């Protein structure tokens, strides 16, 4: 199935949760999805902190947008991997699966799966290009994300 | 302490608007917005152009400036009419940022940018294959800063 930007617009908002990093540390994750490029794209801002918010383990700003061919790709900057171009791989409805190589030749995989109406399962891993393909037991960052109130909005 | 990227581009941050001449002969209004992200590790660049009279959208784009290990600017970009590319800084005068990289379909994109006296100048050309694109029509814009100068994180007043 080919996913389009419109498939992900229901995710617009702030999502947060506590999960584990690929290195096994507990991490507090917050992800914002906002419409971008006059509604033709989707921006994602991702932050994974230690649970006391002293250290940013990983930050990513990404923009998912259609190439002239219609294929969706994500343009991104990662605090670990630097500039990125990731491909959206065809998947089931409710799944955003992005993969690609960094300029440092690391293979990167990022997946969001809508498990329930108010839950996104986030999974990500990276490995040196050409390295072994992880099976289900290999380390990866995982987190169950729930809708969160934007921190900069006044409480009514 | 500002990062080396912000030290170099602090004066570029903010929103810029001006008239634009596109390589295909069209004219419009161009807007660039440059924002520091992750405490100055990278700069996000958001671009949009509009038909001057109607305000109808013409082009949209996005990108990130960052520095590689050699201190060169790397600019991964998206433009809706060009697609995705990774541009790398090429030698030029110190006050000028020149970038070049490959586009899909055996094309190349060369971009030159500078900021002087609150005026941002941008010129870009799309070439084909290995040949220089010097003779090809260019997209050209000069943009003025809109609003106040945003002080970057870690930059003293």
* Interface residue A87 vs chain B (CB under 8 A): no
Of A28-32, A151-155, B58-62, B138-142, the range with the lowest mean pLDDT is A151-155
CA distance B149 to chain A (A): 23
- Closest Cβ–Cβ partner in A40, A83, A103 for B80: A40
pLDDT of amino acid B149? 63
Q: Are strands A95-101 and A82-89 parallel, antiparallel or unpaired?
A: antiparallel
State whether A65 and B66 contact (CB < 8 Å).
Answer: no
Record: contact A77-B61, CB cut-off 8 A: no
Residues in A closer than 8 angstroms to B84, CB to CB, are 67, 73, 75, 85
Contact B86 A59 (CB under 8 A): no
Contact of A4 with chain B, judged by CB distance below 8 Å, is answered with: no
Question: Roughly how many angstroms between the first and final C-alpha of chain A, as a whole number?
Answer: 41
Average pLDDT score, chain B:
91
* Banded pLDDT at A139 (limits 50, 70, 90): confident
Domains and CATH numbers, chain B: 4-140 (2.40.128.20)
pLDDT greater than 50 at residue B156: no
Distance CA B128, CA B135 (A): 12
Q: Please give the ipTM for the structure prediction.
A: 0.91
| Mean per-residue pLDDT, A51-65 | 96
Q: Show the domains of chain A with their CATH numbers.
A: 3-131+140-148 (2.40.128.20)
Query: Tens digits of per-residue pLDDT, B66-88?
Result: 999 999 999 999 999 999 999 99
Query: Residue B4: in which H helix or E strand, if any?
Result: helix B4-9
Using alpha carbons, list the distances in angstroms from residue B97 to A91, B135, B136: 40, 20, 20
DSSP labels for B21-62?
Answer: E-TTS-EEEEEEEEEEETTTTEEEEEEEEE-TTT--EEEEEE
Alpha-carbon torsion (B143, A65, A34, B64), positive or negative: negative
């Amino acid at each position: 199935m080919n996913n389009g930007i419109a498939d992900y617009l229901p995710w617009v908002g702030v999502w947060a949760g506590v999960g584990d990093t690929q290195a096994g540390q507990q991490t507090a994750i917050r992800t914002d999805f906002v419409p971008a490029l006059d509604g033709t794209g989707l921006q994602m801002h991702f932050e994974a902190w230690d649970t006391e918010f002293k250290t940013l383990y990983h930050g990513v700003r990404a923009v998912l947008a259609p190439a002239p061919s219609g294929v969706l790709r994500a343009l991104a900057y990662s605090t670990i991997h630097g500039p990125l171009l990731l491909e959206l791989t065809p998947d089931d409805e409710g799944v955003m699966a992005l993969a690609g190589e960094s300029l440092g030749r690391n293979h990167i995989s990022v997946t969001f799966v809508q498990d329930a109406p108010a839950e996104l399962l986030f999974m990500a891993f990276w490995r040196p290009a050409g390295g072994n393909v992880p099976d289900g037991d290999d380390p990866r960052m995982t987190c169950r994300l729930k809708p969160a109130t934007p921190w900069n909005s006044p409480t009514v | 302490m500002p990062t080396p990227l912000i030290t170099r581009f602090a004066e570029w941050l903010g929103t810029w608007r001006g008239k634009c001449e596109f390589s295909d002969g069209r004219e419009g209004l161009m807007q660039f917005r440059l924002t520091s992200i992750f405490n100055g590790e990278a700069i996000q660049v958001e671009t949009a152009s509009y038909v001057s009279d109607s305000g109808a959208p013409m082009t949209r784009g996005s990108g990130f400036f960052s520095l590689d290990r050699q201190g060169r600017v790397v600019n991964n970009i998206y433009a809706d009419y060009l697609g995705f590319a990774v541009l790398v800084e090429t030698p030029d005068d110190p006050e000028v940022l020149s970038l070049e990289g490959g586009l899909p379909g055996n094309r190349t994109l060369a971009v030159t940018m500078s900021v002087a006296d609150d005026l941002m100048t941008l010129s870009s050309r799309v070439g084909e294959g290995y040949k220089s694109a010097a003779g090809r029509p260019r997209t050209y814009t000069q943009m003025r800063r809109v609003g106040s100068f945003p002080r970057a994180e870690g930059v003293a007043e």
